[in-house]
Amino acid sequence: MDYAMIMAGGTGKRLWPLSRQNRPKQVLRLVDGQTLLRRCFDRLRDVFDPDHLLVLTNAAYVETVRGELPEVPAPYVVAEPAVRDTAPAIGLAATILAKGDPEATVAVVTADQVIEPVETFESVLRDALTFVNHHPEAIVTFGIEPTFPSTQLGYIELGAARQEPGCRSTVHPVECFREKPDEATAQQYVASGRFCWNAGMFVFRARTMLDHLARLLPDSTEPLARIREAWGTPDQQVVLEAWFVRLPKISIDFAVMEKAPHVYAIRLPCRWLDLGAFRSLAEIIGRDENGNVPAAACHELLDSEDNILVSEDNGHLIALIGVRGLVVAHSPDATLVCSIAQAERLKELLENVARHHGGRFL
């Protein structure tokens, strides 16, 4: 059977003060009044039954996620006891699903992306599921057609296309994965036509992924075996908390994707945006005639250009006069004002906030 795993554990520190330790970016209502998590679920609901959806999230977010996705049975919202990167998360999901269904095919998606149109995404996702069900040894990833030479995204080099029975999309063997390049290299990638952005989404047989983890990341074998043995028993939570933290902290790209055989890609011809920072709101929401990004329902701007305004409070007015190039982000207990050019220093700012105020505003 086909299953989906939603990775919903990211914190989104680069969207502070709206995103917090107990309220991650995927549950912010910044896009048409909806959360990114809800939009992710809605993209999947026509492909998978709700009881074939597994959501992995941070322990602090479990109740928030369950409230946002009431259709998903509560036991299928699983709390990771610690932040261990994507390889342990995917290993945990594969372990849980393979115990219930040894032939499980799993689609891994992330909860913090904007993907449009949904119909195109659904069609490509179904093709990936079909391909893996015909080729159980395969892992499929998705390539986004680059619209500019980004230095902040990873790339996939695609081999020659092949047509597969039952698939509308062509399938490409992956020649290699490339991490974030410099500007000149990114320009070469885009100009070649052979490279796509790495969307960080995958489809695979659960057993195949577990076999790769056992071979390529052997330190994961015993923790996952212990978790599998206890899953569904009264000891489930105790064992999960004891053994999940022993999984190596590493991304799935480094642990498996860059080393495994039979890795393929399907181009995803969609508008694709990763809401990772305030700048990305410009691409999601758009700009007004003066270049401002009004991600706040109530605002007044006078002689102001190229600013980003962010608030979820429809009753709070943000007003600017004669300013340019600012981020103004309002939350009930903290307000950020900074130049857009300095927004990447948020991590440094939050270290000072923690030092001076403890965890009160984090």
Q: Could you state, in order of their start, the residue ranges of all structural domains in the chain?
A: 2-274, 284-357
Count CB atoms within 10 A of the CB of residue 70: 9
Site of tokens 């026509």:
46
Is the bond into 248 cis (omega within 30 degrees of 0)? no
For CA atoms 355, 85, 199, 285, give the dihedral sign: negative
Token code pair at residue 332: 């009930």
**Element containing residue 183 per DSSP (H, E):** helix 183-192
Question: CB count, 10 Å around CB of 117?
Answer: 11
- Residue 121 sits at the vertex; the CA angle it makes with 288 and 74, to the nearest 5 degrees, is 100
d(CA 132, CA 352): 48
d(C-alpha 225, C-alpha 222), whole Å: 5
| pTM given for the model | 0.86
> How would you class 165 by CB atoms within 10 Å of its CB: exposed for 0-12, middle for 13-18, buried for 19 or more?
exposed
Q: Which amino acid is at 97?
A: L
- pLDDT of 150 reads 85
In order of 19, 195, 306, the CA distances from 309 in angstroms are 15, 34, 10
The single residue listed with the structure tokens 């050019």 is 341
The dotted CATH code for 2-274 is 3.90.550.10
- Residue 12: the pLDDT is 66
CA-based end-to-end distance of the chain: 41
Tens digit of pLDDT at every position of the chain (362 positions)? 999 999 998 766 788 998 887 788 888 887 777 888 999 999 999 999 888 999 999 888 899 899 999 999 999 999 999 988 999 999 999 999 999 999 999 999 999 888 999 999 999 999 999 999 999 999 999 999 988 888 888 999 999 999 999 999 999 999 999 988 888 999 999 999 899 999 999 999 999 999 999 999 999 999 999 999 999 999 999 999 999 999 999 999 999 999 999 999 999 999 888 777 788 787 778 899 999 999 888 999 999 999 999 998 889 999 999 999 999 999 999 999 999 989 888 989 999 999 999 989 98
